[in-house]
Amino acid sequence: MARLAGNPALREGNKGWEVTATTVNCEYVSDFATIMVQPDGTAKCSFVNRHGKAKDGKKRLKNCKWPDCPLVAGFKEKALAL
């Protein structure tokens, strides 16, 4: 058990996992996006990360709901309930 105590994923306050993710077919951007959630509640969308700084980023993100995306919020809620 002492070996597990040093594992950052199992320290007090952590949920026992480092990240959980799912890939969804996003209806807002008409493409696939991976939603990632950290145990601290931080959530990220791979589509926003990938296209946010790209030349055509504004065009690709035109219909994106980030940061108030219901798909991200829904998955975040499920992940944090684990």
pLDDT in tens, 31-71: 999 999 999 999 999 999 999 988 888 899 999 999 999 99
Q: How far is CA 30 from the centre of its chain?
A: 18
Instruction: Record the pTM.
Output: 0.76
Residue 1's pLDDT is: 38
Residue 6's pLDDT is: 47
Residue 77's pLDDT is: 94
